[in-house]
């Protein structure tokens, strides 16, 4: 289900059972695998990959070419840096960067 006022860029792949909240941006070439949930007003940058069964809170920014491992939960108002590889859950109001991603 994709809510109102959500933008989908060229080449985006969205697989079954995905929920995308109001006012999101899913940018060019992003891949959203099965059973993911994205909160309202979040931005998934170009080339980002969300493996299956991921929960992303509201107001998040997932950077270009970031990869989020299957089953990870990301809180509200989180920034994931470009190219980051997120292997574990991320608390709200934090910034994670690197491979593997670490809080800064």
Active site residues: 34
| Omega within 30 of 0 (cis) for the link into 100 | yes
Phi, psi (rounded to 5 degrees) for 59: 70, 25
Q: 97 and 104 in contact (C-beta within 8 Å)?
A: yes
């Amino acid at each position: 289900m994709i809510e109102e006022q959500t933008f989908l860029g060229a080449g985006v792949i969205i697989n079954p059972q995905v929920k995308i909240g109001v006012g999101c941006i899913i940018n060019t070439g992003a891949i959203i695998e099965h059973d993911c949930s994205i909160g309202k007003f979040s931005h998934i940058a170009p080339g980002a990959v969300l493996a299956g069964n991921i929960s992303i809170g509201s107001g998040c920014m997932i950077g270009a070419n970031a990869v989020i491992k299957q089953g990870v939960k990301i809180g509200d108002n989180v920034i994931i840096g470009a190219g980051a590889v997120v292997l574990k859950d991320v608390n709200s109001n934090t910034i994670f960067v690197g491979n593997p991603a670490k809080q800064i």
